[in-house]
Structure 1
Amino acid sequence: MPDNRQTTVSPKKTESTPKTTQLELEIARPVNRLDQDSECPVFVVDELFNVVAFVNGVRSILGSPRATEFPLSDCEALNPLQKSKLSEEIQRVLISDDPEIQRFLRIEFEYESGNRVFCLTFEKEKLSAGRSGVRCTAEPLIAKSTADSTAKFAGDTEEAILGWTLEKQSRAFEHFGSPTSREMGRVLLSEWLACVSEADRPSVENAFENLIGKEGSELNIQYRMTLATGVTRKVTTLAKWAPAIDGRKSVTIIGMHQYGLDNQSVVEDLNLFSHLARKVQLSILVFDHLGHVNWCNNAFTECTGYNFEDIIGRDPNDLLKGPLTEASTVRHMRDRIQKGKAFHVELVQYKKSGAPYWVSIDGNPLVDESGKVTRFISFQTDITESKKTQSAILRSEIKFRSLFDNSTDALLLLSPKDGVIIEANKSSFELLDTERLVGQRFEEIFPDHADFRIDYLNTLIDENNGHQRHSAEFITASGQVRPVEMTVSRTPIGESIALFVTLRDVSEKRLLEEQLRHTQRMEAVGRLAGGIAHDFNNLLAGQRGFSELLCNSRDLAKKDHVYANEILKITDRASKLTSRLLSFSRGKSDLPVVANLNELIGNMMPMLSRILKKEVRFTSQLDPKLSNVKVDTNQIDQVIMNLVVNGQEAISNHEGVVSLKTNMIELTGSEIFITGKPKPGRYAKVSVRDNGQGIHRDVLEKIFEPFFTTKKGAGTGLGLSIVYGIIQSNGGHLMVDSEIGTGTEFSFYFPEVLEEVVKEDVPNLLEQMPSAESKKSGGTPTILVAEDQEQVREILELGLGQSGYNLIIAKDGLEAIEKGKKFAGAIDLLLTDSIMPGASGCSVVKEMQKAYPEIKVVLMSGLPQQENVEFKGLKIDAYVDKPFSIRKLLELIQQLVAVPDQ
């Protein structure tokens, strides 16, 4: 019947929605208002999703509780998905501004007696007290698509047969037999029976129930069906249970519907039916005498991944063939089809995803009563599982061959009897440095090595349960010593046994292990150097302090002042030495400063002269107009020292000369150095040249690599790599030029800076030390001194005490905290060491800042304190590195505790 509605809303697809063809639904009777005499169930839902009114059996449909009003969520006939969809549509109507809005929803209710399908119509409804609600009318539906589809088949005499399968559990038809049959999709048995004429429906329903309930039974029944056009047609249905396969119980019924044709017209399709009854669980293709597909079943599309539309009208052999598909087998199939003959083949086909699979194909012609071939049907069985053993062997062989040929280790297969090499990979030829291996005896390749004799290899395996790893060494034909790690095991090759030998070159591994051990030693030396520098700085702090007090004393004779001053100078040089040790132990640069390279080299001259051999002459040519640069002076000293020592080592004659030269040079930016291209400008250049034997070109490319050395058994391979790293980290560039028999020249360049070198102030040691100033409140400032080193603590007590400060002296952190908290007055400044037993300087600072919020803090240490994470976040007014100047410390304290100007 016609449907005049303008709006149709279908339920949204969700993951739980069955994948069936959506049916067109015909509404059985018109919508009637709730207050009229309506036969349709009608109910009203308010804004809180409560059912507030209902008629005509709504309770039985929704499964609602016994109440005059009830929540929609309490309806037991609705599953969670249906409740969600129903609530969603009601909410859309409630929030709409259109008073005439109508929405529709198809919904199927499950009952013990079967399923019923309704179309729910939603309309806005005004309730009492200004509230709004939604009127829901539930109209029973019939499956129009079923009738439409049957009409299509019934109107075509050549397509009057509708084949189907029916699963026992789902009770749904899956149709086949022609391309147009796919338009019906999946139809429930209850929907099909709804189209049967009312007079025949009980007997047809009973016949189907008996068929489903009794396995092995058959069905042959005639009845009438009302089509969508209103025309009634006679239908004959034939059905039987599919036979069990491989002993498994059948769950499928095979059948067909015949629409008003005589018995002779179905002879051809009965042959098709009989084949399908036997082969329904297999992939099925139906095609014409040219081999073009007319139809395929779901099993085929699921197996291959191709859709129905992909295969119809095509030759399946063109679609499914691939590299391993045998062309001769495909030609045989086509020839048999053209001749109308049955065939059986096995071949490899390819799925849509490109995955290969083995298939067994049985092809059978279908003929009419005159013997004419009208169709061809093939049943395809996936036999990949039965081919699993052969396929696994094939894959293993391919995989083994790939791994064997491409392995970086030397792999050999040996005869366990005489040690003859059966097979060898490419890496074996490279490792063993030979051009011939296969056919030779293994021990003949290593004539002087007992580790490679076949009887020894067999003994190793027997003593270690079939597998043994062993270290050995051999000398190649070119004279190179190769340490190897050898693994030997027995492996099956066909029906025999072979020895599988793996030789792994461990030369690089041993080199890396040695480099790692050397690096660990270097790290240990670095930590040791840092510890020594810290302790030495504490000693130097005491020595410098006492020397400074001596220099300031007016009771000494003039010559004693000179001696004390010399001790002070020696202490400062020792302090610079420890600074270098600390820089080495930390593995990073100090802050760069403006310096003149000529002055750095001049200061190093005495030391350079002493370290060179007597037979090596050292010369220098320094440009007096050399500009200043910005570098870490300690690191540049190390660079010059390394290059001079390397130059000396390269000299083997008695007339050796190492020369050092500086000059200014203008770079354009087009030059290419080892460290990259420079920026254009003026650069200060330093060259270190020797007249040694020179460096070969192939070695020259590696000299800056870490651990590379040409000094067998003596060098570390770190000198030039450190030089490279220092030059690059300081913003300079490096170049090397060498010629065999002439010598080598290393040059490094640093960009010119226009800043002046900051000269360190040289105080007048006889000038009186700064003294304490009185505080605004009266009296002199009080200083809490925390230092665990006795000599440093003593010099602080003398120096600060003589200047007039009130001192609280503590020998460690715990004592400092205790004395600081007990002190009755105010403490103006805390002078503490950073590393102390009991409590660290950080703990002392925290406790004193709690007790005295205004206290000033000066932190002392023999290590770089700014790098200590422990002090991050603390308010530190000043840092003092040991050894320190008493005079400068007093000047610093005077600034921190100075009385502010009035």
Structure 2
Amino acid sequence: MESQKKINVLVVEDSVASYQAIVSVLQNFGFTLSSERVEWKEEFERSIIEKSWDIIISDYYLPDFDGKYVIHRIKELNPELPVILITEFIPEEAASEYLNLGASEFLPKSSIIKLPFVVNRELEAFRLKQSQKKAWEMLVHGEEILTRSQKISHLGHFEVIFPENNTLWSLELYRILGYDFSEVPSMEKVWTLLDMEEKKLIEMVWNEVTSENTSKEFVLHLNTKLGRKKVNLWLEAERFDEDRFRIFGTIHDISDVSDLESSIQLNEQLFKGIFNNSSQAIFLLDLQGHIIRMNRNSVLSFERNESDVQGLELISSIFSESNEDSIKKLTYGMKLALKNQTFEVLVSYRLRDGREKYFDCDFYPLNDPFGKIIYLVLEAKDITEKIVLERAYAQAQKLEALGTFAGGIAHDFNNLLTPMMAYISYLNAEWSSNQTDEMIQKSLPAIEGISKSLERAKNLIQQILTYSKIDHSSTKQIDLREQLLQVLSEVKFVSSNKLSIFTDLGTESAFIEADPIQIFQILSNLYENSLFALQEIQNPKITISLTKVMYEKSDLFQVGFLKNTEYWKLSFSDNGNGIPKEILDKIFDPFFSTKGGKGTGLGLSIIYGILAKMGGTILVDSTVGKGTQFDLYFPAWKAML
């Protein structure tokens, strides 16, 4: 770990103060730096050629060149070396352009506090790529030996897993049988190439091998598109349990080639070991982007069976549900790989159950010894949990900072309100005793208006103070279901709305650890928000349900940072106007309100903060014109103490 903290940093910056700030923030994070500052193009060129650097940190506006030149030059000399831009006054679209050109990250100077996390991430990715590159060299070498050995010996292999009937052919077997690489493999296609009598022999031997768990070897003839071939067929069965087994076999074209079986088996194991044991999801593609092989990690990460997508085009099959931007980046990356270049991109991926994952993808070309591209490779690292944690951390920081800021203002403002409330109380007491004074009588409504305004200001201040003191509540074990029933019985619904309430709270006690006052805050805020959303709806309806869910079998699985295994899920939905998609991510921000001047914008922020402190969370799903559903997750307790 200590060796990873020692880094060589080249800072391309014309401001000494900015350079010192960069060095300081990295050293405070724990990095041991060997750094150098350059500001002129000649110095930059000399430094990147003569010295070795772990990372480049650059301003955009420089005396006689710019950050765009820095990116281009670094990518020419060392495409894998991370380049981080730190500057101001660059529009968002321009920043995106520089990221697409090869910059690892773009940070405003006002956000320099995030630099250590970005540097740590990029160094980890850079070192991982170096190790992966060595692994890939071994993989390519092993695959080349395997492919060439099979081609020289005309020996191909296959595997069939039962009862799924999943079938895999090696590339050489495709050639021997005369099929195109895009053809989906199945052993029935092999049997159609046999003479009738030999086909009967195969059926008998096949049954014998599977029943006796043994191996057999014999000679057959295949009627392929390329002509009639004499082959040596070797079969071996391996039983996993009573119902599942595998048949592994080789088909050796012995028409005019000698036997190299032992060499093939050795290199096949080498290829499988590197390919399937990689920590990354790996797709091996042909030059048209069709999937040839998927390793074990890609099957787990993308939740797709290799047999379902083998032979299909990668982007249109695997990433068909990804957003348009991700598809464009993947298409561009594949084009670069075909030009013998590497490309890294962050893409989103939607699982069949609706969950979204994020992958850091790399496209690579695989070349033969003469430099000709023979395969394309897509490596994908699952960074979903990392992105979710970063978002949660950013939200927590924002809430904490605003809470502290709001609390300070609220205290000072409350101090101003106290004497004003006292003066109004004094005037009410004094003037009410002198009812005959006509001028006083005329002033009483104004006094009453001021008093009501001060009372509303006091309530607002109290809300802000509550928000800023979320962490200072007193918790105990309570029954959430009982609390819900109590709140529902106390709340007076607006009869003019003809509001319908549907509840499904079950019969089981829902024990959680919480502050009862805060639970009342949560429920009353949700109820008030729904009332506002339903005020123009003809048949307003609120639905409340309470169920126990397991972490890995719920929507919480995509959140990633929660610790409990069981949660009480409180769903609170209405059939109101819904929340537009473009502001859905902002509704938990303090002081953000969709009620115009009728709300403070603190209700959902308070709920978010309370649940985060408890170890839970809140998720929202809304469709404009159909309604909104909030799902609140409370860590479950098995029984009261």
| TM-score (normalised: structure 1) | 0.24
**Higher relative contact order by CA 8 Å / sep ≥ 6: 1 or 2?**
2
Structure exhibiting the larger radius of gyration computed from Cα positions: 1
Q: Give me the TM-score of the superposition, normalised by structure 2.
A: 0.32
